[in-house]
Amino acid sequence: MPTRCLICVSILAAVVAGSCSRPAPPPPVDEATLTAQALRRFDENKFGMFIHWGLYAIPAGEWKGQYVRGIGEWIMFHAKIPVKEYEQLAAQFNPVKFNAEEWTQLAQDAGMRYLVITAKHHDGFAMYHSKASPYNIVDATPYGKDPMVELAAACARRGIGFGFYYSQDQDWHEPHGRGNTWDFPAERNPQIYFQGKVLPQVQELLTGYGPLALIWFDTPGMLSEQQVTELRRLVKRHQPSCLLNSRIGHGKGDYLQTSDNAIPIQVHTKVKWEVPATLNDTWGYKKNDQNWKDPADLIAKLTDIAAKGGNYLLNVGPDAEGVIPEPSQKILRTVGRWLAANGEAIFGTTASPFYVDGISWRVTAKPSRLYLHLLEWPGTKFRLAGLETEVKQAHFLANGLAVPFKQSGTAVDFELPPKPVDPYNTVVVLTLADPVARVAAGYRAEDIPDRVELWAWTARLVGEEIRYDRARRSATRFVKVDSPGNELRWYPYGALGGEYQVELTYACENHRAGSRFRIGVHPSNTEMTQSLTGQIEATGGRFLTRRVPGAITLGPDDLFISFSLPEEDRSADVRLQRLTLIRRK
C-alpha cells in the first residue's frame, strides 16, 4: 500500500477510535473539587464588599419621628411595625441614583475582590425580581427595575466575585417565617415558608444572575437538618462552585462565618473563615449613625485578619436613593490606596507562621517570602524573634528600598528610618532561603503562650455608646442605657484551653471609680456560664494593671469572653486597654 494510503488508514482508525483530532473530553469535575477550587479563590481574594440595601433605608433609623435604637435593617422588628404599615415603604422606594458602575468602581478602588448584596433580608422584601413573591423591587415599587441584573453584570465585567445574602429562616413579612410575633402570634409552620418562599427564591437567584461566587445565608434559627441539606443540594445542583457560609446551619457550610465584627484572637487555619464587619455601627443605612471607623483601624484589621488566615467582608449601607454614603466611600478609597501599594502583602497570602503577639505588628506569608506589617512605628529598631530560616534580603514593599538587618541565631534585627514609610502600615518584605519559613518552638502559630493579651483593639464592640479610642489604645463609654449593654467581646475560636487568672489594664479618673465590672465566659450568644466580678479602682487617669480575684476555665467550645460594667452608668470615663489571661493549668 502506498505511504499516503497508510497515513489515511491510520487517521481513519484514530478518528473511529475517537483519539485523533478531537481530544477525549475531560472527566467531569465533581462538586468537592469545584468547591475546593472556589474556596482557594475565595481565600486569595481576602477582601470583599458587603451591601445591606433594602426598604429600611427609607426610615433610616427613625419611625414616626422617633429614633429607634439598634441596627438600621432591624427597624421593623425593634419598632414592632405591622406588616401592613411596613409594606407601604415599597410604594416610596425609588432609588433613581443607583448606579452599578459606581458601586463596583468603589469596590475596585477599595481593593475589594468580591461583593455580597442582600437579595432578601429579615424584612422579607426581595431586592430583585422574584416570581415567587410579589413583594419585590420590580413589582412593588415605582422603581420597577431589577438592580441585581446590572450589579451582577458590572461585577462580571470587572472580575469581581458576585454573591447574594439571603435570610433563609427569619422573615418578618410571612406568617410562617420566623420572628414576627406582633402580627403573627400563632404557631408557625416553617415548612410552608421554606417550600413556598425559600426554595423557589434561592433557585431564582441561582438561575437568573450568572455564576455566583457564594450565597451568604444568615440566622439559620429553626431550620431542620433535612431542610438545610435540601437547601445545600439545591445550590450545588445549580452551581457546584457556589460557596455557602456556615450560617446555612447544621455544619453544612463550606467555610466558617465568624460572629459579626468578631476577629479570632489568634491564627486560625483549621478551616477557612470570614469576618463580616460594619463601617459604622449599622449594616442597613441609618442617617444618625456617624460612628465611622478610622481607615487606619480598617487597614490594621484587614492585616490582622489576613495574618490570622481569614477574609474581611466590609459593609456599606446605601441610602434609599441608591447612594453609598460619602464617608463610607472616602474611607474605603483610603484603604484602597494603601492596598494599591501593599496588596502583595495581603492578597493570596497565607497566615502568619508566628503566634499573634500584641497589636503593633503582624506577619503574612507567601512561598519564600514573609511580609512584616508594622502597624505602629517601633522607632529605628525592630526585632523579629524566633525565625530559623535564613533571610536573604529585606526591602520596603511600598518603595523597594532595602532595609538593613542582621540575623543572629533566630533573631532578626532591622534598622529602620525614624519615620514610617506609610502612615498606616509599613510593610517589610523578607526574602527567605526556604520556601516555607521555619519558626522556632515557642514562637509558632500553634504555640500559644501562657500569657495571652486580649487588647481592646482586637475586641468586638457591642452597644451603641461604646467607642474605641485609637489614640489611647483603649475602649471607653461603657454606658448601660438599654439591653444589650455596652461590652467588649473576644473570640478565641478554640485557641485557649485551661484555667486562667485575669489581669485588667485600665485607667479611671479618681472621681469616677467604684463601678463594678464583670468578665464573662459565654459558650453561646445567649449564655454566660462563668463570671468574675470586681470594682474599678481609681488610677488617677493613668493605665494600671490589676489582678482580678478568682479564675476562669476556658474550653474549645467557649464562644467568647466579655468585659462589661453591667450595673452602673456613671463609668463612662473608664478606659479599658486589655485583659491579660495567665494560664494556671
CA distances to 38, 54, 357, 403, 449 from 580, in Å: 38, 42, 12, 34, 11
Cβ 379 to ligand FHN, closest distance in Å? 39
Residue 483's SS3 state is: coil
Which residue of this chain has its Cβ atom nearest to ligand FHN in the complex? Answer: 276
The residue (of 342 and 562) whose beta carbon lies closer to ligand FHN is 562
Q: Give the nearest distance from C-beta 116 to ligand FHN in angstroms.
A: 10
* Least CB distance to ligand FHN at residue 426 (A): 32
Residue 223 or 359: which CB sits closer to ligand FHN?
Answer: 223
Q: Which CB sits closer to ligand FHN, 286 or 575? A: 286
- Residues composing the chain: 585
Q: Which is nearer to ligand FHN, 128 or 414 (by Cβ)?
A: 128
Of the two residues 178 and 268, which places its CB atom closer to ligand FHN in the complex?
Answer: 178
Q: How far are the Cα atoms of 150, 152, 188, 220, 529 from residue 101, in angstroms, in the given order? A: 8, 11, 42, 33, 49
Nearest distance, CB of residue 244 and ligand FHN, angstroms: 15
Distance CA 177, CA 171 (A): 5
3-state DSSP of 92-159: HCCCCCCCHHHHHHHHHHHCCCEEEEEEECCCCCECCCCCCCCCECCCCCCCCCCHHHHHHHHHHHHC
CA torsion through residues 241, 245, 247, 251, sign: positive
Smallest gap from Cβ 435 to ligand FHN, in A, equals 37
Quickly count: other Cβ atoms within 10 Å of residue 467's Cβ. Answer: 16
Is residue 346 within 8 Å of 339, Cβ to Cβ? Answer: yes
Nearer to ligand FHN, 161 or 179 (CB): 179
H/E segment holding residue 41: helix 31-45
Q: Which is nearer to ligand FHN, 71 or 214 (CB)?
A: 71
CB of 118 to ligand FHN, least distance (A): 7
* Smallest distance from ligand FHN to CB 74, Å: 6
* Shortest CB 73 distance to ligand FHN, Å: 5
Instruction: Detail the DSSP E strand segments found in 13-68.
Output: 47-51, 62-63, 66-67
Task: Specify the pairing of strand 516-522 against strand 161-167.
Answer: unpaired
Taking the complex as a whole, the smallest distance from the CB of residue 548 to ligand FHN amounts, in Å, to 30
Cα separation, 218 vs 166, whole angstroms: 7
Q: How far is the CB of 218 from ligand FHN (least distance, A)?
A: 5
Nearer to ligand FHN among residue 73 and residue 171 (C-beta)? 73
From CA 489, how far away is CA 524, in angstroms rounded?
12
Residues contributing to the site for ligand FHN (CB under 6 A) = 71, 73-74, 218-219, 260, 276, 283
Output 219 or 269, the one with its CB closest to ligand FHN: 219
Residue 219 or 553: which CB sits closer to ligand FHN?
219
Helix (H) or strand (E) holding 413: strand 411-415
Burial 155-177 (b: 16+ CB within 10 A, else e): beeeebbbbbbbbbbbbbbbebb
Among candidates 560, 507, 542, 578, which has minimal Cα distance to 358?
Answer: 578
Give the span between the Cα atoms of 281 and 465, in whole angstroms.
Answer: 10
